[in-house]
Structure 1
């Protein structure tokens, strides 16, 4: 589609006031404290996949409400690894997808990292190879999809649970034997990019954040501009529930990627596509331009794809990430990563 959002010069200086709630930090501190009252219950189980150059593990840990969350963990095989703890990358998937199959997530392990690919609760049936994590929490009336589940109260919203799961995923990988807990990065595209921003704003001490064409920022503008799902789920809901707009946007203000981005302290590599009809460029720039404002102004970069839609940079962006993250992780110039030989175990906390 043609460029439809703000001119690029305006995008580069776009710093909207999104109406952040005064108790944003208190809301999330309470949410995470309630979740951490549950044991992490981390299990890391070896899986025979037929892959010989990477080791694969089926991971489960306690997320929001103590609910079990699944993930795949892959890492360079002990037989081909060197010595020393490895940096790790936690990856979050796009809207409606699940963790799929482990051989679909080999890029980061091939580059010398421990890779944890988190399943998204309640998703995994719209595309890809499926998911394995139910969401045992219900909601009130909602449009098909996930954006309007719990739309009238931030405590009930679907993404409160998902973002909390994602924070616990970082805690889980940091508890895995052979991982350097000081070198953990987070990444994802679209919905995964939005989850990445949430984690970057909630978890201190991350090595890096790499949100690609992130979803879930500047909700008010996204609903006004986007004419395709998922944002139109909100439009459809409000077209039926005509008196719920104030409550809906109040709930979304606790989930907005711009607010999380403001609090982030890790170096960041973003991507944006200027013809993206799903995540309008202005919503991505809103998060990028605000990124780190309350987190010490960390280094940040934005890769711009002027002629792409929601696919963004795709494989080209991953190639960019590989080199950028290697510099931060201390892997640049190495022929391969290092890992401690032997059995991988989880240290539950």
Structure 2
């Protein structure tokens, strides 16, 4: 079964920026940096208990290890921030426990937030894969599901509310974290776990229960949006709950108000119904006020009849001629394939090679080819990059070949096209000939040329996958090259540009258009239409598996369904109701199984 995640021999690279966390256009990065700076300032001002430093660690699983009076002096010292594999336990997968003793200073009770909420917030960061966390012997939270129904959740940031009653002020407290790792790197990966006073927004929570588990409503009847208000504070609260509904372009469609009472330490159900007038994605907004003068706002998107979303094509009359010309020009470029063995990167199951080639315009592009050592003719998975992503060897032990390919301006393909600044989507946008994505799409086809010519590979089983920009590149490759036998786009970018710019706002694009008087939204969208996978979808004949995040603000799910609904062949999707712009950890198992099944089908 193929492993398409970033796991080396089933392992993930925990030292550098994760391969499946691509960069986004520059304006978003600036906003994120600004947000991080604000958070850093806030945490400096707040009173906190730093929980980094030395913890205690033991492999295995025993329920008694959560008890605060357990003697753990014979446990191994360990640090957070790096996996246990790098701290003396290579290749270990399974259960393990972390423990930490610390003192909570009485001065923390003087924090303004604590005076209101009477609670602390434990912030652990990421845990790989599943955790259950205990504070002085009492469970305060967990993420993922332990075996036998194992479901990892290594991407989630762990934050748990700790009630005042559990805290031993000015004395020793014990934190115990039960961890299970199914494969790859495991352990507490947060570099600076800490404890601080909890805010109202952290102790008064609204949990959504959208759709039928995937955040989608597929029946033509009113959406009954169910939620639960949790008051984890020791005080009873009351106020008004304001409901509003917006479409994914920000237009308010309805508004209403109900009075609510929230008993201390209890959960209160809340339901709001709305009948959409058309298929699409809708944002439910719940505003609770006042909570001691604090207004709390919660929002969530849901989809209504998403498989009935219809987006009009924007193909220009010369669309087919343009791509025929582009592919012919590419074919005339001597690929000059160069294969260089990288023995130091070999795994137990695969040989590794760095591949270089020439693409459209003679641009040099490269990638990492992993060939099974079995000698059998094997299927191959082409992996293409997200925005600014550096593709590297997978290190997977799956019995297939992998080609982790960097299009121009990415990873090891920057000899002729720089990756900085990361403004790919506006490079050459004045003309379809020379636009960045003309070259990037051609690069992917050139990568298929390489794979189709390898005698050790089965040319009838060439798949393509990627996330974000890589999802869009996967779709474009499958549309432009009939040699692709399966396509697995995750949270795809490059979909339905007209809707995209209505459902999301990018100041970077506004600034680019405003820089020259001859540029308009009309001319910009005309150029981008040649590279819109909406206009390419009906050319895809191979099986396709999409994944999407219902809360995704970077690649809105409505744009994903615009393309999905244009596909004419076998297709499936998986929607993750709480996910924004990320590939859900659970989807990796779904994707691996699907690729395995598709590659096992007899070739046509």
TM-score (norm 1): 0.81
For residues 288-326 of structure 1, give each alpha carbon's deviation from its aligned partner in whole angstroms, at most 9, with x where no partner exists: 1112xxxxx21000010111000132x322211111111
Structure 2 distance, partners of 1:302, 1:86, is 26
Residue 220 (str. 1) matches residue 498 (str. 2) = yes
Which of these residues, 196, 212, 224, is aligned with residue 474 of structure 2?
196
Q: Is contact 2:461–2:484 with CA below 8 Å preserved after alignment? A: yes
- Counterpart position of 1:56: 352
SS for the counterpart of 1:154 is coil
Structure 1 distance, partners of 2:497, 2:342, is 40
SS for the counterpart of 2:565 is helix
Q: Is contact 2:463–2:484 with CA below 8 Å preserved after alignment? A: yes
- Counterpart position of 2:591: 321
- Counterpart position of 2:560: 284
Q: Is contact 2:477–2:484 with CA below 8 Å preserved after alignment? A: no
Which of these residues, 353, 370, 383, is aligned with residue 91 of structure 1?
383
- Aligned residue-pair number: 304
Residue 307 (str. 1) matches residue 582 (str. 2) = no
Q: Is contact 1:223–1:234 with CA below 8 Å preserved after alignment? A: no
Structure 1, unaligned stretches of length 5 or more?
125-130, 292-296, 333-349
For residues 44-96 of structure 1, give each alpha carbon's deviation from its aligned partner in whole angstroms, at most 9, with x where no partner exists: 211022533121001012211232210000122x2xx2x53100000101101
- Counterpart position of 2:399: 112
Structure 2 distance, partners of 1:48, 1:161, is 31
SS for the counterpart of 1:184 is strand
Which of these residues, 73, 78, 88, is aligned with residue 369 of structure 2?
73
Structure 2 distance, partners of 1:106, 1:285, is 33
Q: Is contact 1:143–1:236 with CA below 8 Å preserved after alignment? A: no
Higher RCO (C-alpha 8 Å, min separation 6): 1
SS for the counterpart of 1:290 is coil
- Counterpart position of 1:127: none
More strand as a share of residues: 2
Measured at CA, do residues 208 and 50 of structure 1 come closer, stay the same or move farther in structure 2, by a change above 3 Å? closer
Q: CA deviation at 1:42?
A: 1.3
TM-score (norm 2): 0.48
Structure 1 distance, partners of 2:555, 2:451, is 29
Q: Is contact 2:461–2:485 with CA below 8 Å preserved after alignment? A: yes
Measured at CA, do residues 331 and 211 of structure 1 come closer, stay the same or move farther in structure 2, by a change above 3 Å? same
For residues 83-140 of structure 1, give each alpha carbon's deviation from its aligned partner in whole angstroms, at most 9, with x where no partner exists: 53100000101101223x43xx223xx221110111121234xxxxxx34334599xx
- Counterpart position of 1:31: 326
For the aligned residue pairs, the C-alpha RMSD in angstroms reads 2.3
Structure 2, unaligned stretches of length 5 or more?
1-207, 209-214, 216-246, 249-280, 283-302
Q: Is contact 1:271–1:312 with CA below 8 Å preserved after alignment? A: yes
Q: Is contact 2:364–2:413 with CA below 8 Å preserved after alignment? A: no
SS for the counterpart of 1:155 is coil
More helix as a share of residues: 1
Q: Is contact 1:143–1:237 with CA below 8 Å preserved after alignment? A: no
Which of these residues, 523, 538, 550, is aligned with residue 262 of structure 1?
538
Structure 1 distance, partners of 2:454, 2:385, is 21
Measured at CA, do residues 194 and 135 of structure 1 come closer, stay the same or move farther in structure 2, by a change above 3 Å? farther
- Counterpart position of 1:163: 441
Residue 40 (str. 1) matches residue 335 (str. 2) = yes
Q: CA deviation at 1:224?
A: 2.0
- Higher gyration radius (CA): 2
Which of these residues, 411, 425, 428, is aligned with residue 150 of structure 1?
428
Q: CA deviation at 1:254?
A: 0.2
Structure 2 distance, partners of 1:233, 1:57, is 38
Measured at CA, do residues 308 and 216 of structure 1 come closer, stay the same or move farther in structure 2, by a change above 3 Å? same
Q: CA deviation at 1:242?
A: 5.3
Structure 1 distance, partners of 2:370, 2:563, is 30
